[in-house]
C-alpha cells in the first residue's frame, strides 16, 4: 500500500485524503495504531493496566505526528544551517536551500548528480555550488546533514517510544506499590503478582542496558550510510540508499521505520515484568509488525483481486515487477494511477483494509490474550493457596506433635 509521493492537489475530498495517507508510511502507521489502540485501551483488565496502555498508545501516537511535523522540520533546518552550513535561514519558504534535505540519496552518490536532485525539487543550486567549493563539496555537506537528521530521528523515535514500558513500570510501582504485570492486578493479590515478578525485577538493569545499547546501534547506523555514500566504488549501501530517504523530507520510508519499530518493540518487550507479560508483548508486537509491514499488503492484494474478479475493476498492478512475492501477491496500484471507476473502489478497499486490521488487532487479539493471562494467573494463584494450606497444616500438626511429645 506504500506508493511514491506526488502532488495530491488535484484530488479533493476523501480520495485526496486517502491518497495522502496511503503514500506516507508514517501517517499510515500512526492512523492504524490510533484505530487499534482505542479498543486495546478499552479492553484493559483494570484501571492500572488501562492507564499504562493509554500512556503507551498516547505517547507513541503523539510522537508519530510530532516527530515528522514538528521536530523534524526544525531538525532539518538546524542541520542545513549548522552542519551543512548552506543556509542562514530556518524558513523553508524564505530560503529554498532548506528544501535540499529532500534530495534523494540516489542523487548524493557523486557531485555531478546533485543538481539533478535539486531540479526535481524546483531549486536551482548553480550559484550555491560555486560559492561552496564545487558540487562534490556540496554533496558531502548534504550527506552529513541528512545522516545527522536520520541519527537524531532513530534515537528520538526508537528511544522515546521504547522507553514507555520502563516509565509505566516506575509509575505503577509508585502509585500502587505493586510489582508484576498490571493486567493481573484484578486477578490476584499483591503476594502472587510480586512473586511472579521476582526474577524479572532482579535483572531489570541488564534489560534496560540491552535496550539502550540497541538504540545506540540504530543511532550509529547513519555513519555506515555516510561511509557507503562517500565511497568511490559501488557498494550495497549505494544500491539501496534510497531506502533511507524521507518522503516530503520529513516522513520515514518503510525500511527505516521498520528498524525504529524493532527498537521500540524491543523496549516494550524488555520492560516486561514476568513471563506472561513477555508472551503478551511478544504476540502483540509480532502481530503488529506482521500486520503493518506485510499484512496490510496481503489483505490489500486479496481485496484487490476480489474487486477485480467480481466488480470488474482494475485495482491490481499486473504490470509490476515480477518478483516472487508479486507473483503470489500482486500489489494494488497507486490510487492516483487507477481509472475513475476503479479509484472509487480503491479508496473503499484502503479503508476496508484498515477496518479488518482494526478488528483483528484491536478486538480479537486482546480478547484472546486476556484469556491467556487469566489462565496463567489462576494457575499460580492456586499454587500459592495450596502452598499456604500445606504450611498451615504443618504448623498446626507440628505443634500438636510437639505437645504430645512433651506430655
Mean pLDDT (the chain) is 84
Mean pLDDT of 125-140: 92
Tell me the whole-structure pTM to 2 decimals.
0.75
pLDDT on residue 103? 92
Tell me what pLDDT residue 164 has: 93
When pLDDT is averaged across residues 263-292 and rounded to a whole number, the result is 88
Averaged over 194-205, what is the pLDDT? 90
In the numeric block, which cell numbers belong to residue 123? 531549486
**Is residue 392's pLDDT more than 50?**
no
Q: 51-63 burial string, b = 16+ CB within 10 Å, else e?
A: bbbbbbbebbbeb
pLDDT at site 105: 93
Task: Give 41's contacts (C-beta < 8 A, 6+ positions apart).
Answer: 50, 53, 54, 57
CA 318/CA 308 separation, integer angstroms:
11
Predicted confidence band at 335 (pLDDT cuts at 50, 70, 90)?
confident
Q: By mean pLDDT, which of 1-15, 27-41, 62-76, 101-115 is the weakest?
A: 1-15
Whether 405 has a pLDDT exceeding 50, the answer reads no
Lowest mean pLDDT among 14-28, 32-46, 356-370: 14-28
- Indicate the pLDDT class of residue 272, thresholds 50, 70 and 90: very high
Name which residue leads in pLDDT, 212 or 405. Answer: 212
SS (H, E, C) the chain: CCCCCCCCCCCCHHHHHHHHHHCCHHHHHHHHHHHHHHHHHHCCCCHHHHHHHHHHHHHHHHHHHHHHHHHHHHHHHHHHHHHCCCCCCCCCCCCHHHHHHHCCHHHCCCHHHHHHHHHHCCCCCHHHHHHCCCHHHHHHHHHHHHHHHHHHHHHHHHHHHHCHHHHHHHHHHHHHCCCCCHHHCCCCCHHHHHHHHHHHHHCHHHHHHHHHHHHHHHHHHHHHHHHHHHCCCCCHHHHCHHHHCEECCCEECHHHHHHHHHHHHHHHHHCCCCHHHHHHHHHHHHHHHHHHHHHHHHHHHHHHHHHHHHCCCCCECCCCCCCHHHHHCCCECCHHHCCHHHHHHHHHHHHHHHHHHHHHHHHHHHHHHHHHHHHHHHHHHHHHHHHHHHHHHHHHHHHHHHHHHHC
**C-alpha–C-alpha distance, residues 249 and 251, integer Å:** 6
User: What is the mean pLDDT of the segment spanning 81-100?
Assistant: 83
pLDDT-derived band at 42, boundaries 50, 70, 90: confident
pLDDT tens per residue, range 317-326 = 888 887 777 7
pLDDT of residue 5: 37
**Domain-by-domain residue ranges, the chain?**
44-273
Confidence of residue 4 (pLDDT cuts 50, 70, 90): very low
Evaluate if residue 99 carries a pLDDT over 70.
yes
Amino acid at each position: 500500500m506504500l506508493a511514491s509521493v506526488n502532488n495530491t492537489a488535484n484530488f479533493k475530498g476523501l480520495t485526496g485524503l486517502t491518497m495522502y495517507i496511503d503514500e506516507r508510511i508514517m501517517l499510515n502507521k500512526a492512523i492504524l495504531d490510533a484505530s487499534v489502540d482505542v479498543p486495546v485501551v478499552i479492553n484493559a483488565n483494570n484501571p492500572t493496566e488501562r492507564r499504562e496502555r493509554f500512556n503507551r498508545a498516547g505517547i507513541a501516537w503523539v510522537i508519530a505526528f510530532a516527530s515528522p511535523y514538528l521536530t523534524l522540520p526544525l531538525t532539518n533546518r538546524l542541520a542545513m544551517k549548522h552542519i551543512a552550513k548552506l543556509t542562514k535561514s530556518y524558513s523553508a519558504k524564505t530560503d529554498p536551500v532548506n528544501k535540499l534535505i529532500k534530495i534523494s540519496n540516489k542523487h548524493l552518490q557523486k557531485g555531478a548528480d546533485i543538481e539533478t536532485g535539486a531540479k526535481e525539487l524546483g531549486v536551482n543550486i548553480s550559484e550555491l555550488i560555486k560559492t561552496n567549493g564545487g558540487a562534490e563539496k556540496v554533496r558531502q555537506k548534504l550527506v552529513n546533514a541528512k545522516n545527522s537528521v536520520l541519527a537524531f530521528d532513530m534515537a528520538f523515535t526508537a528511544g522515546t517510544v521504547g522507553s514507555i514500558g520502563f516509565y509505566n513500570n516506575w509509575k505503577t510501582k509508585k502509585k500502587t506499590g505493586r510489582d508484576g504485570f498490571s493486567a493481573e492486578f484484578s486477578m490476584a493479590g499483591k503476594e502472587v503478582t510480586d512473586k511472579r515478578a521476582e526474577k524479572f525485577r532482579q535483572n531489570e538493569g541488564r534489560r534496560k542496558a540491552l535496550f539502550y545499547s540497541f538504540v545506540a546501534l540504530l543511532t550509529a547506523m547513519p555513519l555506515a550510510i555516510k561511509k557507503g555514500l562517500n565511497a568511490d566504488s559501488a557498494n550495497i549501501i549505494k544500491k539501496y540508499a534510497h531506502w533511507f530517504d524521507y518522503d516530503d523530507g520529513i516522513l520515514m520510508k518503510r525500511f527505516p521505520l521498520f528498524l525504529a519499530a524493532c527498537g521500540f518493540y524491543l523496549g516494550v518487550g524488555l520492560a516486561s515484568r514476568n513471563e506472561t507479560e513477555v508472551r503478551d508483548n511478544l504476540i502483540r508486537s509480532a502481530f503488529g509488525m506482521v500486520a503493518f509491514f506485510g499484512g496490510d499488503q496481503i489483505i490489500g492484494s486479496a481485496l484487490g483481486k476480489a474487486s477485480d474478479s467480481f466488480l470488474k475493476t482494475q485495482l491490481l498492478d499486473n504490470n509490476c515487477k515480477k518478483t516472487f512475492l508479486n507473483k503470489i501477491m500482486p500489489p494494488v496500484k497507486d490510487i492516483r494511477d487507477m481509472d475513475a471507476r476503479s479509484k472509487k473502489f480503491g479508496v473503499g478497499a484502503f479503508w476496508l483494509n484498515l477496518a479488518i486490521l482494526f478488528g483483528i488487532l484491536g478486538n480479537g487479539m486482546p480478547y484472546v490474550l486476556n484469556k491467556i493471562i487469566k489462565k496463567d494467573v489462576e494457575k499460580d494463584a492456586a499454587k500459592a493457596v495450596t502452598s499456604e494450606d500445606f504450611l498451615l497444616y504443618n504448623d498446626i500438626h507440628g505443634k500438636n506433635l510437639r505437645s504430645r511429645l512433651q506430655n
